[in-house]
Structure 1
Amino acid sequence: MSAGIALAAAVLVALQDHAPLRGQVNGIYLTPPGRATPPFVLLGEIASIDWSTKTEAGREIRFAVLVREEAERAERLGSLAEEAEAAVAAMPRDIEGWRIVSLALQRSRILRTEGPWTASIEWRARMLAA
């Protein structure tokens, strides 16, 4: 399994298994939902580059977790984003076919849009083949 697919699956499970987050949102999705009502969590874009050594295959993967909330309830967005961040930070480091050797928060921001507000939590994972 590719590193990106394995990581996406592991992040999704970590978010779904995090009870404080799961209990406050209407859904946690891998792909954009058709008619989901905020608040919900969505795995954002995933970018992957080579991070191999002379002896081991490796990938550096940058990804985002997006939390969407209604404009009228935007005050809740910060706490939802904190729970999403905690879920990813606590995820297991051994995933299918790969070992996460470094998982670092890169940036967290809140984007004000005309529709739902979005919290974007951006991560960098460095992984070696298991």
Structure 2
Amino acid sequence: MSGALEAVQQQLVTRLAGHGPLTDLINAIFDGSPPRAAFPYIALATGASLDWSHKSGVGRELSLALTIHDDGETAARLHRVMALVEDALEYGLDDPDGWQIVTFDFRRTRIVRSAVSPWSGLVEYRARALKI
């Protein structure tokens, strides 16, 4: 994980963990998929880090993916959790130590379920950061 990716993901977790309505509805936020966890929970995927440097500075374009897992009968609770994730991140993230977040953009959401697994909702963001 690049320094930028780790730093921005820490800010992401901090912002989500500080959003009361979201934390009231989920059981935990994990860095990666846990072996066992009570539903619903959020797992961060290790995202992609691309070069976004310029002549006089180092930059990274980061792909941030959050997967919400839920075992509900319907996707109703999953939809509520996904909406709360978007609410928590509506105003972006604070700049992490050593980096300035230049842009923080919502990319997409997606919900999937197979016949033998719980619901999964994907929420993706893109952040562009410059090293300071």
The answer to whether the 8 Å contact 2:11/2:94 transfers is: no
The letter for the 2-side match of 1:17 is: G
**Structure-2 residue corresponding to 1:42:** 43
What SS is found at the alignment partner of 1:76?
helix
Q: Distance in 1 between matches of 2:39 and 2:74?
A: 9
Flag the 1:23–1:71 CA change in 2: closer, same or farther, 3 A. Answer: closer
User: Which has the larger displacement, 27-36 or 2-11?
Assistant: 27-36
In 2, Cα distance between the equivalents of 1:31 and 1:109? Answer: 18
Query: Any unmatched runs of 5+ in structure 2?
Result: none
Aligned pairs for 1:47-58 within 5 A: 47-58=48-59
**Could you tell me which residue of structure 2 aligns to residue 116 of structure 1?**
118
User: How many angstroms apart in 2 are the aligned matches of 1:43 and 1:104?
Assistant: 17
Given that 1:71 and 1:115 are in contact with CA atoms closer than 8 Å, whether structure 2 keeps it comes out as no
Contact between 1:66 and 1:120, CA under 8 Å: does it hold in 2?
Answer: yes
Alignment of 1:79-118 (within 5 A): 79-113=80-114, 114-118=116-120
Amino acid at match of 2:57: E
Q: Which position in structure 1 is the counterpart of 2:6?
A: 5
How far apart are the structure 2 equivalents of 1:89 and 1:33?
A: 26
3-state SS of paired residue (1:56): coil
RMSD: 1.5
**C-alpha distance in structure 2 between counterparts of 1:8 and 1:120, whole Å:** 16
- Partners of 1:85 and 1:42 in 2: CA distance: 15
SS in 1 for 2:25: coil
TM-score by length of 1: 0.92
Shift of 1:84: 1.0
Output aligned runs, 1:25-40, within 5 Å: 25-40=26-41
Separation (CA, whole Å) in 2 of partners of 1:71 and 1:83? 17
In 2, the alpha carbon distance for the partners of 1:91 and 1:125 equals 9
Percent of aligned pairs with the same residue?
35
